């Protein structure tokens, strides 16, 4: 296994704002292995999305280096697909057409129309949305839209799936359902995933490792917790699993005992 598939080396992020320089991230060092599922957790505003955007290549670090599959990350690329909290589907296109756009971008030069269509439909089937291929986003629920967003990302066969609170806007039951589906999809595709979450249970259920971030400004990685729970994982059985309960407590302790969030006065 390539344990240095993604490398974040001494990354710093300083934003230039109207009020001056804002030091968001300091000394971020992280390696993600191929096929690993890593979540980033921390209080609001600590810099989780900033770190994810650096890996996506949407933002460049102020200093330090980011590498994916032995190449420096200098811009966004189809090998690193991003799923945001709000699905970002184009409203005038059907579900299939939304997925097709991404498929065409990656495979358009080398594959026939029929192959591209087959890829789009297979991706929708993977997230159980084949039945809605001809529907437009306003005709389906929020959870379904999010599934199409995941299908679109997976259809690009990315080396890395980057997810920024992909289930944050969904109700608890839909979220649980999609977490279970994501677990199955990732098991099938062996994808490397980096996912931002606020949800401790989600982090423990899904992750191989949980990266716990300190509070900003100048946030950094506080601790990394390895989750040694067998896969496939079953949320109902895990609820009483002593290891699961222990990991959950570790994350809660980090977030609320050791790094409690202090609200700044307005
Ligand atoms: N483009 C930017 N310009 C200036 N400051 C920024 C910019 N992007 C993020 N920040 C600041 O950097 C810090 C980290 O923001 P970020 O969105 O990464 O946090 P987060 O942990 O993802 O937060 P949340 O959990 O609330 O989404 C915040 O203080 C934010 O205000």
Which domains are seen in the chain, by residue range? 1-77+192-265 (3.40.50.300)
The ligand 1 site (C-beta within 6 Å) comprises 15, 17, 22, 24, 42, 44-50, 216
pLDDT at 1: 64
pLDDT at 265: 46
Pocket test for ligand 1, best of 19, 45, 198, 263 (most atoms within 8 A of CB): 45
**Residue nearest ligand 1's atom 5 by CA:** 15
Per residue in 143-182, pLDDT (tens digit) is: 899 889 988 998 888 889 999 999 888 888 888 988 998 8
0.80 exceeded by the pTM? yes
* φ/ψ bin of 145: left (φ > 0), alpha (ψ from -120 to 50), beta (otherwise): alpha
pLDDT at 266: 42
Q: Say how many Å lie between the CA of residue 10 and the centre of ligand 1.
A: 19
Tokens 């809660």: give the residue. Answer: 252
Q: Say how many Å lie between the CA of residue 97 and the centre of ligand 1.
A: 32
**Residue nearest ligand 1's atom 31 by CA:** 45
Separation between Cα atoms, residue 210 and residue 223, nearest integer Å: 8
Q: What percent of the chain has pLDDT over 90?
A: 77
Q: Say how many Å lie between the CA of residue 190 and the centre of ligand 1.
A: 30
CB 187 within 8 A of CB 231: yes
Q: Which atom of ligand 1 is nearest to the CA of 165?
A: 27
More confident residue, 31 or 77: 31
**Residue nearest ligand 1's atom 16 by CA:** 47
What is the chain written as a DSSP string? --TTSEEEEEEEEEEEETTEEEEEEEEEEEEE-TT-EEEEE-STTSSHHHHHHHHHTSS--SEEEEEETTEE--S--TTEEEE-SS----TTS-HHHHHHHHHHHHHTTTS-HHHHHHHHHHHHHHTT-GGGTT--GGGS-HHHHHHHHHHHHHHT--SEEEEESTTTTS-HHHHHHHHHHHHHHHHHHT-EEEEEES-HHHHHHH-SEEEEEPPSSSB-EEEEEE----SS--HHHHTT-HHHHHHHHHHHIIIIIISPPPPPP-
Per residue in 80-134, pLDDT (tens digit) is: 999 988 778 999 999 999 999 999 999 999 999 999 999 999 999 988 899 999 9
Separation between Cα atoms, residue 90 and residue 95, nearest integer Å: 9
């Amino acid at each position: 296994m390539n344990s240095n598939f993604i490398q974040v080396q001494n990354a710093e992020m300083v934003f230039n704002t109207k009020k001056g320089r804002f030091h968001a991230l300091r000394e971020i060092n992280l390696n993600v292995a191929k096929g690993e599922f890593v979540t980033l957790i921390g209080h609001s505003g600590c810099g989780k999305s900033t770190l994810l955007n650096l890996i996506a290549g949407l933002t460049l670090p102020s200093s330090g280096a980011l590498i994916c599959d032995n190449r420096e990350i200098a811009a966004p690329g189809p090998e690193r697909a991003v799923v945001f909290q709000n699905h970002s589907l184009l409203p005038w296109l059907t579900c299939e057409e939304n997925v097709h756009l991404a498929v065409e971008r990656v495979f358009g030069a080398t594959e026939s129309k029929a192959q591209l269509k087959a890829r789009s439909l297979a991706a929708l089937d993977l997230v159980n949305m084949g039945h809605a291929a001809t529907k437009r986003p306003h005709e389906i629920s929020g959870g379904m839209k999010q599934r199409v967003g995941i299908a679109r990302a997976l259809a690009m066969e990315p080396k890395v799936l980057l997810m920024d609170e992909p289930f944050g806007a969904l109700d608890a039951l839909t979220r649980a359902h999609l977490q279970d589906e994501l677990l199955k999809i990732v098991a099938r595709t062996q994808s490397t995933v980096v996912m931002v979450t606020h949800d401790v249970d989600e982090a423990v259920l899904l992750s191989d490792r949980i990266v716990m971030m300190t509070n900003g400004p100048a946030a950094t990685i506080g601790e990394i917790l390895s989750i040694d729970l067998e896969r496939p994982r079953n949320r109902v059985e895990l609820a009483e699993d002593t290891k699961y309960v222990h990991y959950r407590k570790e994350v809660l302790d980090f977030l609320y005992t050791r790094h409690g969030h202090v609200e700044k006065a307005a």
